[in-house]
Amino acid sequence: MDLWRILRREALRNMQPLLLLAVLAAALNLALLTSLNDALLVLDDPEGLQRLLIVFLLSAFLWRIAQGWMMNAASKRMQAALATLRVDLLRRAVAADLPDAMAVGSSRLAQVAGAELQMLAQAVPTLVISFQSVAAILLCLLYLSTLSGAAVLIVLGFLVVGGILIGRSVIRLELMSETIHEAEGALSERSDHILQTLRECKLNRRRAANALADATSCAESLRKERHRFGAEYSHYFTISELTYYAALAGIIFLLPAVTDTDIATVILAGHAAAFIAYPVITIVASYPSYISAETAARSYLAVEAELKAAPQAVVPGRGSGMDDPFSTIALEGATFRHAGRDGTGSFTVGPVDMTVERGSVVFITGHNGAGKSTLIHMLLGLYPIQRGSLSVDGVTVGPDGLATHRDRFAVVFSDSHVTRQLYGATTLDDGFAEELLDLLEMSDKVAIDGRAFTTVDLSQGQKKRLALIAALLERKPVLVLDEWAADQSPYFRRKFYREIIPWMKARGITVIAVTHDDAYFDAADVQLQVDRGGIRQFIATVPAGGIPAPDLLPVSS
Ligand SMILES: Nc1ncnc2c1ncn2[C@@H]1O[C@H](COP(=O)(O)OP(=O)(O)OP(=O)(O)O)[C@@H](O)[C@H]1O
């Protein structure tokens, strides 16, 4: 009952008014039935018929109002629950440890927060209508018992036998729904691959053909599963209808045969049983959407559990600025291990010792896969230090200090995503943004409009320049860049190392940059060379354009 667990938490809080409306609508259903049944008994009395017609019309009118209110309230609940659950999931993703959030993956998070939550929210009105239907069935059975106790026993007998058959079918449907969910995930992954590599597919027909064949095979599996589900659903629906017809036939054929019930009562009982048809069919027909919602709820709860974090409100606070009084940030004997998949492919950075002095320029260099990005994630407090410590001015950064520590940094990651909105910027009206646009030679392409860039439809290298401008507008004391210059032209690369980095240093900004540009290693005060998860440290004393000697002052490994 994963759906129930979520709804109890979100949409079903203060459900009493909604459920009362459902019971009221069911009671009005019963009033419709009893007015019709009573009319059957006074067919030769025009006055009585007129009175019952008024009762019938009034009940129908009130039923329409109660039903409308109920559906409106359910829909409001549904929308509110959807909004809360979506934002909660994002809050959890932001609050989670980065490795946990990365293990869930952005496409799975997007799928759960999008289509699956939609499915789940749609179950709220379905559940309310089902509740109303159950109430209507119970009230009709109660009314039936006032006509004939034997009739109720016959109906219940058929419902129990039918219920057992229906229950077996429901179990099969639930299993199939799981398989469909997996098949949908596989197809959406293949579709994503193709849409992400449209250019490559156009250039390589073998690649396109193989990718499409893979997607076709996934689509075919999904079709087969859906077909099996459809066949089982029609079986389930047929058994449900047959159960209902059998109960009706039980009243017409069995009731007069085994009891001495008079004909009028048999007719009234049969009519009452027929009245149950609509709520029964409503429940039966809504079951697939309930199963899908249950599967979506399971998936939502699984992602929540994997994120291992409560949804936390993010309070911007004062934030760190250039007046943050720290002097050093250090890792001491610090270790982080990437778990890898299925116990293979794990990689450990550390134990490492490094100290970043305030105001210095630190380059982190090394081969691909050596552990440079992992190291800066440790320094940023994004990867948990599993052994050793991360400290600022000799004070260890504990779990409570992580948010404050992370606030010191502005970062441009190697795969940074630049947005038009400058969410992280401080003031924008003191001319600093324009100065940066000039410095990064972007003034003729982009301007600042309100709190956003006028455009981000730019080349790769230009987008990186905007990302750097956005980071500098955060006015943080430490700037971390992961291979920032990799997609800049030789001209701009030179400008970056020879003009922009000194410009940042002159402003007191501490710069930590991952770089492969060995021609400019001398632009750093300190070069940390990472090799297979360990560090060697060099002090860059070689003049501009030179390469520091690799055996210069090794400090730790
Ligand atoms: N999310 C991850 N899950 C598991 N292992 C990872 C993950 N990210 C990186 N690794 C492993 O950690 C090692 C170091 O990766 P890292 O990104 O730190 O290297 P890098 O020095 O920055 O490389 P590059 O210069 O290619 O960017 C890699 O060899 C990789 O196997």
For 482-517, the DSSP string reads ESGGGGS-HHHHHHIIIIIHHHHHHTT-EEEEE---
Residue with the smallest CA separation from ligand 1 atom 18 is 371
Q: Is the minimum distance from the CB of 338 to ligand 1 under 6 angstroms?
A: yes
pLDDT, residue 3, reads 81
* Closest by Cα among 408, 414, 503 to 464: 414
Q: Which atom of ligand 1 is nearest to the CA of 371?
A: 18
* Closest by Cα among 36, 33, 24 to 62: 24
Residue with the smallest CA separation from ligand 1 atom 28 is 369
The complex's ipTM works out to: 0.97
Q: Is the minimum distance from the CB of 337 to ligand 1 under 6 angstroms?
A: no
Q: Is the minimum distance from the CB of 373 to ligand 1 under 6 angstroms?
A: yes
pLDDT tens string, the chain, 557 residues long: the values are 788 788 777 666 777 888 888 889 889 988 988 898 889 888 888 999 999 999 999 999 999 998 888 888 888 877 887 888 888 888 888 888 888 888 888 878 888 888 788 888 777 778 888 888 889 888 988 999 999 999 999 888 888 888 888 888 888 988 898 899 889 889 988 998 899 899 889 989 899 999 999 999 999 999 999 999 999 988 888 888 888 888 889 889 988 888 888 888 999 888 888 888 788 888 888 887 888 888 888 888 999 888 887 666 666 666 667 778 889 999 999 999 988 766 566 889 979 999 999 999 999 999 999 999 999 999 999 998 999 999 999 999 988 888 889 989 999 998 888 889 888 888 888 889 999 999 999 999 999 998 899 999 999 999 999 999 999 999 999 999 999 999 899 999 999 999 999 999 999 999 999 999 989 999 999 999 999 888 876 665 444 444 444 443 333 43
What are the residues facing 411 on neighbouring strands? 480
Ligand 1 pocket test, candidate residues 344, 373, 532, most atoms within 8 A of CB: 373
Q: Is the minimum distance from the CB of 370 to ligand 1 under 6 angstroms?
A: yes
> Residue 334 has which token pair?
């610090």
Q: Is the minimum distance from the CB of 374 to ligand 1 under 6 angstroms?
A: yes
Which amino acid is located at 218 in the chain? C
Cα angle 456-461-462, degrees, rounded to a multiple of 5: 35
Q: Is the minimum distance from the CB of 326 to ligand 1 under 6 angstroms?
A: no
Q: Ligand 1 centre from 374 Cα, in Å? A: 6
d(CA 362, CA 550): 16
d(CA 420, CA 454): 7
pLDDT, residue 341, reads 65
Q: Mind listing the domains of the chain with CATH numbers?
A: 2-148+261-307 (no CATH), 328-408+476-539 (3.40.50.300)
Side-chain-side CA neighbours of residue 285 (13 Å): 8
Phi-psi sector, 531: left (phi>0), alpha (psi -120 to 50), beta: beta
Residue with the smallest CA separation from ligand 1 atom 11 is 347
Ligand 1 pocket test, candidate residues 104, 352, 372, 529, most atoms within 8 A of CB: 372
pLDDT, residue 307, reads 86
Q: Is the minimum distance from the CB of 365 to ligand 1 under 6 angstroms?
A: no
> Residue 400 has which token pair?
């409570």
d(CA 464, CA 417): 9
CB atoms within 10 A of CB 130: 21
Q: Is the minimum distance from the CB of 534 to ligand 1 under 6 angstroms?
A: no
Q: What are phi and psi of 346, to 5 degrees?
A: -75, 155
Q: Which atom of ligand 1 is nearest to the CA of 340?
A: 4
Sort 269 into a burial class: Cβ within 10 Å, 0-12 / 13-18 / 19+.
Answer: buried
CB atoms within 10 A of CB 242: 13
d(CA 128, CA 400): 43
> Residue 550 has which token pair?
């690799």
Contacts of 233 (CB under 8 A, 6+ apart): 173, 288
Q: Which atom of ligand 1 is nearest to the CA of 102?
A: 1
* Radius of gyration of the chain, Cα coordinates, nearest whole angstrom: 34
Q: Is the minimum distance from the CB of 368 to ligand 1 under 6 angstroms?
A: yes
Can you give the three-state secondary structure of 209-251, one letter per residue?
HHHHHHHHHHHHHHHHHHHHHHHHHHHHHHHHHHHHHHHHHHH
Q: Which atom of ligand 1 is nearest to the CA of 530?
A: 21
Sort 494 into a burial class: Cβ within 10 Å, 0-12 / 13-18 / 19+.
Answer: middle
Q: Ligand 1 centre from 338 Cα, in Å? A: 8
> Residue 254 has which token pair?
């069995």
Q: Is the minimum distance from the CB of 528 to ligand 1 under 6 angstroms?
A: no
Q: Is the minimum distance from the CB of 125 to ligand 1 under 6 angstroms?
A: no
Name the strands in the sheet holding 526-531, side by side, starting at the edge strand that comes first in the sequence.
409-412, 478-482, 510-514, 361-366, 526-531, 534-539
Contact criterion met (CB below 8 Å) for 436 and 473: yes
CA distances from 455 to 82, 93, 198 (A): 32, 28, 24
Alpha helices in 42-116 (DSSP H): 46-95, 98-104, 106-111
Q: Is the minimum distance from the CB of 340 to ligand 1 under 6 angstroms?
A: yes
Q: Which atom of ligand 1 is nearest to the CA of 341?
A: 4
Q: Ligand 1 centre from 372 Cα, in Å? A: 8
Q: Is the minimum distance from the CB of 142 to ligand 1 under 6 angstroms?
A: no
Q: Mean pLDDT for the chain?
A: 86
d(CA 459, CA 135): 63
Cα angle 84-100-309, degrees, rounded to a multiple of 5: 40
Contact criterion met (CB below 8 Å) for 75 and 40: no
Q: What is the dihedral of CA 307, 312, 313, 319, to 10 degrees?
A: -90
Q: Is the minimum distance from the CB of 102 to ligand 1 under 6 angstroms?
A: yes
d(CA 171, CA 372): 51
d(CA 54, CA 56): 5
Residue with the smallest CA separation from ligand 1 atom 30 is 369
Contact criterion met (CB below 8 Å) for 488 and 437: no
